[in-house]
Amino acid sequence: MDWIETISCYVPKDEQESKDKELILHGMRQFEDILNRNNKIMHMTCSAFVVNKKRDKVLMVYHNIYDSWSWLGGHADGEADLNAVALREAKEETGVIHISSIMEDVFSLDVLPVLGHVRRGEYVSAHLHLSVTYLFEADEEDELMVKPDENSAVQWIPIDQVNEYSKEPHMKKIYAKLIKRAKEFFGGETSDGA
């Protein structure tokens, strides 16, 4: 399935996703370069929500630009295999080696505002990230490595404490949604398998 079909076929789980899907589809019709960050208004990003095998922790990075603990991911940069982009970004940002998709389908669809900021010495104007999120599992025993040009720390965070670590109010809603969805997907599993 190509990336356009992936997004077109995604069934929104709530009103937020329904509205965000509309906006993403509108952007896809308006811009030929939506897969590339050369589109300064909006572009595709791929996010990875990574849990451990016990399903009780989430792998996160301390993002330098956002000055907050954050999920993993990055720009599509022209790549149409959005799941592969999310997987690659998760590996690059954390150093994990043993990571795999829990499900091939899109886990969440979100339009995220990005405030103006300086990246690599150049000002980047405010814009929108059209985020496609995938669910992954990684080995908690893998050595974690910081990617200094993007983050200053990598850590497994208890799943129920993710929002205590995040400083971004708009992301707390997204993380709460992802955590709830993950728990429902895993059937309410906890670290002791209950």
User: For residue range 119-170, what is the model confidence (pLDDT) as tens digits?
Assistant: 888 998 999 999 999 999 999 999 999 999 999 999 999 999 999 999 999 9
Give domain status of residue 192, yes or no.
no
Give domain status of residue 165, yes or no.
no
Which of 50, 52, 49, 55 is CA-nearest to residue 193?
A: 55
Residue 96: the pLDDT is 97
User: For residue range 25-50, what is the model confidence (pLDDT) as tens digits?
Assistant: 999 999 999 999 999 999 999 999 99
> Domain total for the chain?
1
Give domain status of residue 120, yes or no.
yes
Give domain status of residue 191, yes or no.
no
Residue 120: the pLDDT is 82
Over residues 2-13, mean pLDDT: 94
For residue 146, give its domain range: 3-54+72-151
Which of 119, 134, 41 is CA-nearest to residue 87?
A: 134
Give domain status of residue 45, yes or no.
yes
Over residues 105-110, mean pLDDT: 97
Give domain status of residue 66, yes or no.
no
Q: Which two tokens stand for residue 157?
A: 């965070």
Q: With a threshold of 0.85, does the pTM exceed it? A: yes
CATH of the domain at 147: 3.90.79.10
Residue 193: the pLDDT is 41
* Secondary structure of the chain as H, E, C letters: CCHHHHHHHCCCCCHHHHHHHHHHHHHHHHCCCCCCCCCCCEEEEEEEEEECCCCCEEEEEEECCCCEEECEEEECCCCCCHHHHHHHHHHHHHCCCCEEECCCCCCEEEEEEECCEEECCEEECCEEEEEEEEEEEECCCCCCCCCCCCEEEEEEEEHHHHHHHCCCHHHHHHHHHHHHHHHHHCCCCCCCCC
pLDDT at 190 over 80: no
User: pLDDT confidence of 191, banded at 50, 70, 90?
Assistant: very low
Give domain status of residue 184, yes or no.
no
Give domain status of residue 35, yes or no.
yes
